[in-house]
């Protein structure tokens, strides 16, 4: 027996200990955040729940996109095709097979069972798309990769618009209605905003954890090495093309999950979900949030949706909210490549320094530190020569 017990119960015990005792650990943050998110679904007004659900889905979309962009250095301008793959996979499955499912499991649980099977079918469909498309796309790099993914995305869009065999209903899209499920006398509607919020929260939470595990695994380390220098990675024995292909497929699969969720939220699988401007949503959210941070796309999606909501309170501005997004992207790329997540991280480091100064020498030392760092910052900005701003530290 090794002294390091790795069983599930001891891990949970360790986690709980970390969460309760050792100050502001990551574990405690996770627990408090989870409690807050669970509570949100009970106390928040209906519209806020809808908005937050949408945020969670866009966050997953951007997070999965960033697996390819931030971690492997490939900018895809066609990831919306997998969003549409997920949406249409679910919609077509529900449309074609709900009667059969109902025959097998009975009318009560049929809507829930169909949804689960439909989600599995949709993600399988997305993976089946991503395997050949990824294999072809990773032959190209940089701008050419962006162009070929754009082309594949618009190819999928035009196939959906053409309505092959009457399967995709052309530009109308397919309605996705999640009916009333009845199990053992208990009735609920999966499409109910509150229930759908918890469903989305669970799936997005699990997916986020999955992506986090992936980027922190040896697989993720290889991704980062490819981003930093494909040549050196290849020299170390990494099959760069194969690895990019695998990352492409994993990224697409998670986007497919987001696609399944967005079809249920908007009640429609629409061809718009495949359009390149939808792919741009993931790019915008990721760039604003900061592609080099794991949480960047999540924070970017938050800014994207809530900035829009904030602006919508001023009708004169609301119509032009994309203007602000455009300006924000330009400014972030030019001057602040670390994005909102990087900004928050720098703020946290700075606040900890202030706190340390306060502990050392009381309020005077803290004020002194603030003044000093501000003047340093101003001086650095004023003589910020054209030194290399490309290499962003993680």
Closer Cβ to another protein, 148 or 301, answer by number: 148
Q: According to CB under 8 A, which residues from 75 to 94 bind another protein? A: 75
- Nearest to residue 176, comparing CAs of 301, 288, 270? 270
Rounded to the nearest 5°, which phi and psi values hold at 174?
-115, 135
Judged by CB under 8 A, does residue 277 bind another protein?
A: yes
Closer Cβ to another protein, 27 or 141, answer by number: 141
Stretch that binds another protein, among 3-11, 159-167, 191-199, 235-243 (CB under 8 A): 159-167
Closer Cβ to another protein, 1 or 143, answer by number: 143
DSSP assignment of 69-91 equals HTTT----S-THHHHHHHHHHHH
Judged by CB under 8 A, does residue 162 bind another protein?
A: yes
The residue behind tokens 């949706």 is: 305
> Contact at 8 Å (CB) between 241 and 138?
yes
Shortest Å distance, C-beta 154 to another protein = 5
DSSP assignment of 117-133 equals HHHHHHHHHHHHHHHHH
Closer Cβ to another protein, 144 or 314, answer by number: 144
Stretch that binds another protein, among 8-16, 306-314, 331-339, 371-379 (CB under 8 A): 331-339
Judged by CB under 8 A, does residue 73 bind another protein?
A: yes
The upper half-sphere exposure of residue 59, i.e. CA atoms within 13 Å in the direction of its Cβ, equals 26
Judged by CB under 8 A, does residue 119 bind another protein?
A: no
Judged by CB under 8 A, does residue 390 bind another protein?
A: yes
Give the sign of the dihedral formed by CA 311, CA 313, CA 316, CA 318.
positive
Rounded to the nearest 5°, which phi and psi values hold at 187?
-115, 135
Task: Tell me which H or E stretch contains 383.
Answer: none
Sole binder of another protein in the list 158, 171, 216, 376 (CB under 8 A): 158
Helix (H, G, I), strand (E, B) or coil at 191: coil
The binding site for another protein (CB under 8 A) comprises: 73, 75, 136, 139-140, 142-144, 146-148, 150-152, 154-155, 158-159, 161-162, 164, 276-277, 280, 283, 287, 319-320, 322-323, 325-330, 333-334, 337, 386, 388-391
């Amino acid at each position: 027996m090794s002294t390091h017990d790795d069983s599930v119960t001891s891990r949970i015990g360790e986690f709980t200990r970390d969460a309760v005792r050792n100050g502001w650990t990551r574990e405690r943050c996770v627990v408090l955040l989870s409690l807050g998110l669970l509570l949100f679904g009970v106390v928040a007004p209906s519209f806020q729940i809808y908005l937050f659900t949408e945020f969670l889905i866009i966050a997953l979309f951007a997070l999965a996109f960033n697996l390819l962009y931030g971690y492997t250095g490939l900018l895809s301008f066609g990831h919306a095709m997998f969003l549409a793959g997920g949406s249409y996979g679910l919609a077509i499955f529900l449309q074609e097979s709900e009667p059969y499912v109902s025959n097998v499991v009975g009318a009560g649980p049929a809507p829930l069972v169909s949804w689960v099977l439909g989600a599995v079918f949709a993600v399988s469909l997305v993976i089946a798309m991503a395997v050949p498309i990824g294999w072809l796309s990773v032959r190209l790099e940089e701008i050419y990769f962006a162009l070929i993914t754009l082309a594949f995305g618009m190819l999928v869009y035009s196939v959906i618009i053409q309505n092959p065999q009457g399967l995709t209903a052309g530009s109308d899209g397919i309605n996705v209605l999640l009916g009333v499920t009845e199990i053992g006398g208990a009735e609920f509607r999966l499409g109910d905003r509150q229930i759908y919020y918890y469903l989305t929260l669970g799936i997005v939470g699990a997916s986020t954890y999955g992506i986090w595990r992936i980027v922190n695994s040896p697989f993720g380390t290889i991704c980062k090495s490819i981003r930093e220098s494909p040549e050196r990675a290849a020299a170390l024995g990494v099959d760069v093309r194969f690895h990019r292909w695998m990352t492409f497929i994993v990224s697409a699969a998670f986007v497919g999950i987001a696609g399944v969720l967005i079809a249920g939220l908007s009640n429609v699988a629409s061809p718009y979900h495949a359009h390149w401007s939808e792919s741009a949503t993931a790019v915008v959210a990721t760039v604003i949030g900061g592609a080099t941070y794991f949480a960047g796309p999540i924070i970017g999606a938050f800014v994207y949706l809530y900035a829009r909501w904030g602006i919508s309170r001023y009708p004169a501005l609301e119509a032009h909210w994309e203007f602000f997004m455009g300006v924000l992207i330009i400014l972030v790329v030019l001057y602040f490549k670390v994005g909102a997540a990087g900004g928050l991280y720098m703020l946290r480091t700075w606040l900890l320094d202030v706190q340390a100064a306060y502990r050392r020498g009381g309020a005077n030392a803290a004020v002194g530190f603030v003044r000093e760092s501000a003047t340093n910052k101003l001086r650095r900005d004023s003589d910020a020569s054209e030194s290399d701003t490309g290499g962003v530290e993680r």
